[in-house]
Structure 1
């Protein structure tokens, strides 16, 4: 598959998963929704690879486990909690700063230089977020909004650390498909352990809406979406692949406007514009 098709598939899939996440919030405990998502996705990937004769044990397990914890457990604990507090489209905008997180973490873990452009992009993006959330932070719901932003930022950081683990897996010869398949299974087991540790009983979800969202998130959002994204990371690097996060917030906010009643204000429009400009500054050619 060409780089353009990998990029387009990632944007389209991940731009639509946010509204599906919102459809799951409240029906059952959040940990259980995430567990069901990755249990189904992991089973499908492992079974599919086994049937095709392509199931391989990773040569190194250490960073596969790290990737599982970051990408398929803690990342979504943050994002699902955020979606319970603020509109899903806004969660996607916070998540769009993953490219900035990737640049910082690439410096920490791989010694890549942080440029003045990265600093400028981060400042512009942060200003955009401030404008986007301006009206919400000024009212009685400001504490709830701040919690939502905090959860979204935590999820984005976990996603970025998972990117770093994926890069290390690639250096060790573990393909994205292999790391994803085992990682989703490991992530599901971790989530099941967390459910048991918190004393939550498993609840049988009801309603076609929930199950439809679960199927979409597990099969399309996870199996296909993570595979296309991590193939993109392996092909063009985590920083450039992170540019996909620039585009899909627009898709997510359009869906949030249609289905969640997200209200556009001049400040919100300006904030989204600045956030997107910050990401474009990150990647634009001189």
Structure 2
């Protein structure tokens, strides 16, 4: 069962990026996000109400759920849906996989949790990998503003997602049910998107064709409701640290899908880049304290000198 859940998380979340790319062709980012999370929230409301598992929370907790909705189910996705115009979906997922580094930084800021000894070498490997992965595009585009805008938007969206993770940690420390808080947060995120769409005069009804409907349903049902359920079930079964290994495989799945559907071309730099990113992410979860060993080696060399 653990293997089945693990594979489900990797395949579902590794393929949601192509769904974002398809959906963005038929609706503005705000309207596309509105449809996705309105459907997801509705499904969660139905399941939680009928199962009697919807948890009532205090007003203060609702305010944090609203903030979580903005960070995880709203403004961050505006960044991702806009960025797909400038970078392909596979590269978006690669930048998103760097959320683990943002999480380490934010955990230190908000909860005084020191990053692991491997954080520094892992972050360096990840940053070098990102540069190598984008190097071919950067050179060909002569570092044009559009490509840099796409990379920047992905980074901002990923940081927003990380902030949402910190709010989720806060919820769990208070003993709040994760599915209930996600339901509230998705609802608030959808309501904010609805307000933005109405305020800016955007058409709330995109073309109801097969590409849009199939992508939004896949993102809402599989990418959001089932994906999160499978992931949190995995966390409960094997622990958060081991479950997080699934993030290592998201970029590989996304770039493979992008190769077939978006014409992504693999270069030698890209291969080395993805390997370094995966290695960096692996170090973040590894028990081998490479950072501490390097620090101790440097300390010993200084003593001998």
User: TM-score normalised to the size of structure 1?
Assistant: 0.93
* Pairwise CA distance, 1:256: 0.3
1:13 alignment partner in structure 2: 12
2:91 alignment partner in structure 1: 90
1:107 alignment partner in structure 2: 108
* Pairwise CA distance, 1:56: 2.5
* Pairwise CA distance, 1:222: 0.8
Moved more, 258-267 or 134-143: 134-143
Q: Distance in 1 between matches of 2:229 and 2:68?
A: 13
Moved more, 35-44 or 49-58: 49-58
Call closer, same or farther: CA 1:163–1:233 in 2, change over 3 Å.
farther
* Pairwise CA distance, 1:196: 2.0
Pairwise CA RMSD: 1.9
SS in 2 for 1:61: helix
Kept in 2: contact 1:129–1:275 (CA 8 A): yes
* Pairwise CA distance, 1:231: 5.1
Kept in 1: contact 2:86–2:147 (CA 8 A): yes
2:66 alignment partner in structure 1: 65
Q: Is 2:189 the partner of 1:150?
A: no
- Aligned match of 2:230 in 222, 228, 231? 228
Q: Distance in 2 between matches of 1:117 and 1:240?
A: 16
1:122 alignment partner in structure 2: 123
* Pairwise CA distance, 1:243: 3.4
- Paired residues for 1:122-271 under 5 Å: 122-140=123-141, 142-230=144-232, 236-237=239-240, 241-271=243-273
Structure 1 residues 258-279: Cα deviation after superposition (integer angstroms, max 9, x where no partner): 1100001111111111111111
* Pairwise CA distance, 1:232: 5.1
Kept in 1: contact 2:62–2:184 (CA 8 A): no
* Pairwise CA distance, 1:185: 0.9
* Pairwise CA distance, 1:234: 6.8
* Larger Rg belongs to: 2
Call closer, same or farther: CA 1:225–1:147 in 2, change over 3 Å.
same
* Pairwise CA distance, 1:230: 4.5
2:48 alignment partner in structure 1: 49
Q: Distance in 1 between matches of 2:24 and 2:69?
A: 22
Kept in 2: contact 1:180–1:226 (CA 8 A): no
* Pairwise CA distance, 1:192: 0.7
Q: Distance in 2 between matches of 1:203 and 1:194?
A: 14
Moved more, 257-266 or 77-86: 77-86
State the 4+ residue runs in structure 1 displaced beyond 6 angstroms. none
Unmatched tracts of structure 2, length 5 or more: 289-305
Kept in 2: contact 1:98–1:242 (CA 8 A): no
Length, aligned pairs only? 284
